[in-house]
Structure formats: C-alpha cells, structure tokens
Amino acid sequence: MSEANRERASDAQGGATPGAGESRRFLVRQDAAPRVVFLNLLQIQMPVGALTSILHRASGVLLALAIPVVAWLLARSLRDANGYADVAAWLASPAVKPVAILWTWALAHHLLAGIRHMLSDIDAGSRLHAARRSAWTVNIAGVAIALLAAGALW
Amino acid sequence: MRLVLTGLRAWLVQRVSAVYLLAFILFFIGRLLVAPPQDFVSWRAWVAQPAVAVAMLAAFAALLFHAWVGLRDVMLDYVKPIALRAPALALVAGALIGIGLWMLRLLSALE
C-alpha cells in the first residue's frame, strides 16, 4: 500500500489520530487523490433545471435543423396555387404529423425555456424554489402544448 | 464594425433576437389561429403586405443570427478537433447566409 493510499484509507475511516494525518498533508500533493468523476448523464440524478437547460439546447438544435425546411415550405407556399396546395397536403399527411408535433414541442419548450432564462437574467425567479418551480412549469407546458397541437392535428 | 459574434456581443444578439422572434412568432401564430389563410391568393396577399413582408424578413434575419450564436456554442462544446470545427462552422455559416439571401429575394419580390 502506497503512502498516499494509506493516507486516504485512514481518512475514509475517519482518521486514526487527527493530528498525525493533518501534519502529513503538507507532504503530499493535495490534488493527488483521485477526483470523483462520474458524468454518465443517464445515471446521475439531474436537478429539474438541468433537464430544462439540456432540452433548451436540444430543442434549439432541432429548430435550427428545421430552418431550411421552414424556408422551403414558405417559398413553395408563396410560389403559386399548386405550391400552396402541395404544402397544405404535405403538412396534413400522416407521415409529417409526428414531425410537426415534435417541432411544435421543440418550439414551445425553446420559447418557454428562453423566457425563463431571460427572466433569470434580470434576476426574476432565480431563487432555488422559484427556479425549480419554473423549470417544472417549462418542462410540462412544452409537452402540454405539443399534446394540444397533436389534438388539433388529429 | 466588428462582425465576430463572441462574448458580450453574442449574448446581446441572442437576447435581442430572442425578444423579436418571440413577438413575431406570437403575432404569426395568433394570426394563423384567428384567421387561417383560406387559399393561395389570400395567403400570398397577406404575406405580400409591406408591413408583414418586412416583419417576416426581420424575423428571418433575427432567426439566422440567433441560430448562428446557438449552433456556434454547441459546436464549440462538442466539436473539439480544429480540423473538424473550422469546416463545420464554415458550413453552418454558409448555409445560414444562403438561406438569408434566399428569403431576402423571396420576400422582397412579392407584389
């Protein structure tokens, strides 16, 4: 057992004699002990605000990927009557609806999380209790709006 | 004029564009819900109104800047090798500029 390991083992047991371990700390590098590195996002318990935040980012990427599609739909719908009919039929097709609902969720979550973010910029609702409550509100409201859109589309 | 969007400038661009986009999206969705376009002629006539076309063009401008700041942040976080990062950033920037010019041409040509 190396000197550093023994030091740690005795620390883990609460330290044999407080004074002895204390004096030897000056002799070993303070950062020699391995740090706790456990960043498996699927296993660590995230606070609800972390979920709101990561979904803000994920929904933003989704919305960005949809920009060319939105631009194309707009251009086609404005071109002529046939283009308009194509877009209307396309948006109403069963294959597109799930994508439209996902997009609606992304937009709703991104807008709500963005409003929450900007409110915390001006220090509104940044205390822990209020921040947790607004994070839950954003997460649930985003899904609720997507469900409303699903109900309207089907 | 410095065009590089980093630091405080990016922070500000992200918020100004966010506020404008929020207002425009609420207006646009509200209008679609209250009075859904009945056919091609009425839809095009609505978008072609100067106020609507200009507001929509400004929304695309805000959207593309907003997307640039956001995607740039994401790429700086996840695309670590410079050999990959530079082309990825260039590709996104090129695509966004292209879409911006496309929308400028589309919305300014409506009569």
What does the pLDDT read at residue A49?
93
Closest residue on chain B to A73 (Cα) = B103
| Domain membership flag for residue A38 | no
Task: Please indicate if any CB of chain A lies within 8 Å of the CB of B65.
Answer: no
Q: Cβ separation of B25 and A77 shorter than 8 Å? A: no
CATH class for the region spanning B7-108: mainly alpha
Domain region containing A104: 48-153
The residues near B64 (Cβ < 8 Å, ≥ 6 apart) are A67, B96, B97, B99, B100
| Domain membership flag for residue A13 | yes
Cα angle value A62/A104/A50 (rounded, 5°)? 60
Of A71, A115, A118, the CB nearest to B103: A71
One domain for residues A28 and A53: no
| Domain membership flag for residue A59 | yes
Residues B61, B107: contact at Cβ < 8 Å?
no
- Would the pLDDT of B7 be above 90? no
One domain for residues A126 and A58: yes
One domain for residues A78 and A134: yes
Indicate the pLDDT class of residue B3, thresholds 50, 70 and 90. low
Q: Cβ separation of B43 and A77 shorter than 8 Å? A: yes
One domain for residues A144 and A75: yes
pLDDT in tens, B48-62: 999 999 999 999 999
One domain for residues A24 and A57: no
One domain for residues A92 and A23: no
CA distances from A16 to A2, A10, A23, A27 (A): 17, 6, 13, 18
Task: Please indicate if any CB of chain B lies within 8 Å of the CB of A85.
Answer: yes
pLDDT in tens, B35-50: 999 999 999 999 999 9
Residues in chain B with CB shorter than 8 Å from the CB of A67 are 63-64, 67, 96, 99
- Would the pLDDT of B90 be above 80? yes
One domain for residues A83 and A146: yes
**pLDDT of chain A along its 154 residues, tens only?**
344 444 444 444 444 444 444 555 555 555 556 666 767 767 777 889 999 999 999 999 999 999 999 999 999 999 999 999 999 999 989 999 999 999 999 999 999 999 999 999 998 888 899 999 999 999 999 999 999 999 987 7
| Domain membership flag for residue A95 | yes
Task: Please indicate if any CB of chain B lies within 8 Å of the CB of A24.
Answer: no
Cα angle value B78/B82/B87 (rounded, 5°)? 90
Task: Please indicate if any CB of chain A lies within 8 Å of the CB of B70.
Answer: yes
Q: CA A114, A115, A116, A118: dihedral to nearest 10 degrees?
A: 90
| Domain membership flag for residue A139 | yes
One domain for residues A80 and A109: yes
One domain for residues A28 and A87: no
Q: Cβ separation of B43 and A74 shorter than 8 Å? A: no
| Domain membership flag for residue A140 | yes
Instruction: Give me the residue spans of the domains in chain B.
Output: 7-108
| Domain membership flag for residue A102 | yes
Number of domains in chain A: 2
| Domain membership flag for residue A87 | yes
**pTM flag (> 0.95):** no
Task: Please indicate if any CB of chain A lies within 8 Å of the CB of B43.
Answer: yes
ipTM for the complex shown: 0.93
One domain for residues A126 and A90: yes
Please indicate whether residue B82 or residue A31 has the higher confidence score (pLDDT). B82
